[in-house]
């Protein structure tokens, strides 16, 4: 028996074009289960399927939009076909349970590490708004457990918009109902909004 005070939680709600079966939303939770790396697997499928039995909307863990050296190994991604196929299995299972799911799109910016496997494989520098290092950092899986590094200031940040656009297109192909841009916690979008990480003097300057 649901008490009257919390009964509205279990009522459907309209979110844009989506009718969600209740108002219980699962917030983004990084789990580091994309073993060996970046592709959603059967363990993740079961994780999301179980939660889809009760949640009205699930926001996924942060999903990398391009190969980057994250602070934890086994983070999921959505830049290649294998990853899109892995997510499609998950979105299908979530929909079958009557729930909905958004992908949280994530770019780490200055808090990536150049020696992390994904970053090395990608062969690209750690890009950020400006060549300013974040303080701290613990890459426990890297030898010597290094901290954050001074990143490379990206010449044209519009390239980053293209990465987000491509990831959103991939999310659509993977069957997601929407995306959420990870704009907090010191990651890329936040870095562009904060003068301690963005010292640019062009149109990307912090206002
Ligand atoms: C293990 C763990 C992983 C998390 N991963 C993410 C994440 O990938 N993206 C994100 O935006 N927030 C992440 N968060 C933050 C949560 O989504 C949530 O905002 C936070 O736990 C505060 O929720 P509360 O106010 O209900 O305690 C994470 C939190 C925890 C504990």
> 110-121: per-residue pLDDT in tens?
999 999 988 998
- Closest atom, ligand 1, to C-alpha of 60: 8
Superfamily holding 7-193: Aldolase class I (3.20.20.70)
3-state DSSP of the chain: CCCCCCHHHHCCEEECCEEECCCCEECCCCCCCCCCCECCCHHHHHHHHHHHCCCCEEEEEEEECCCCCCCCCCCEECCCHHHHHHHHHHHHHHHHCCCEEEEEEECCHHHCCCCCHHHHHHCCCCEECCCCCCCCCCCCCCCCCCCCCCCEECCCCHHHHHHHHHHHHHHHHCCCCEEEECCCCCCHHHHHHCCCCCCCCCCCCCC
Q: Verify cis geometry, omega within 30 degrees of 0, for the bond prior to 165.
A: no
CA of residue 29 to ligand 1 center, whole Å:
5
15: phi then psi, degrees, rounded to nearest 5 = -125, 95
Ligand 1 neighbour 71 (Cβ under 6 A): no
Tens digit of pLDDT for each residue in 174-190?
A: 999 999 999 999 999 99
187 catalytic per annotation: yes
CA distance 68 to 76: 11
Task: Output the pLDDT for position 2.
Answer: 80
Q: What residue ranges do the domains of the chain occupy?
A: 7-193
Ligand 1 neighbour 61 (Cβ under 6 A): yes
Ligand 1 neighbour 72 (Cβ under 6 A): no
Tens digit of pLDDT for each residue in 159-173?
A: 999 999 999 999 999
């Amino acid at each position: 028996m649901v008490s009257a005070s919390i009964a509205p939680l279990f009522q459907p709600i309209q979110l844009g074009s989506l009718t969600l079966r209740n108002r219980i939303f699962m917030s983004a939770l990084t789990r580091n289960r994309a073993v060996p790396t970046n592709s959603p697997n059967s363990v993740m499928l079961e994780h999301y399927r179980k939660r889809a039995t009760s949640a009205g909307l699930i926001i996924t863990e942060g999903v990398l939009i391009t190969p980057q050296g994250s602070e934890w190994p086994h983070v999921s991604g959505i830049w290649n076909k294998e990853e899109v196929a892995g997510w499609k299995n998950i979105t299908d299972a979530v929909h079958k349970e009557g729930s909905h799911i958004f992908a949280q799109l994530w770019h780490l910016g200055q808090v990536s590490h150049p020696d992390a496997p994904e970053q090395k494989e990608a062969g690209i520098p750690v890009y950020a708004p400006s060549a300013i290092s974040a303080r701290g950092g613990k890459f426990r899986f890297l030898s010597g457990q290094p901290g954050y590094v001074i990143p490379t200031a990206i010449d044209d940040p519009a390239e980053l918009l293209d990465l987000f656009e491509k990831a959103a297109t991939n999310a659509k192909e993977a069957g997601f109902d929407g995306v959420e841009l990870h704009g907090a916690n010191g990651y890329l979008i936040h870095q562009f909004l904060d003068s301690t990480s963005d010292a640019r003097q062009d149109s990307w300057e912090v206002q």
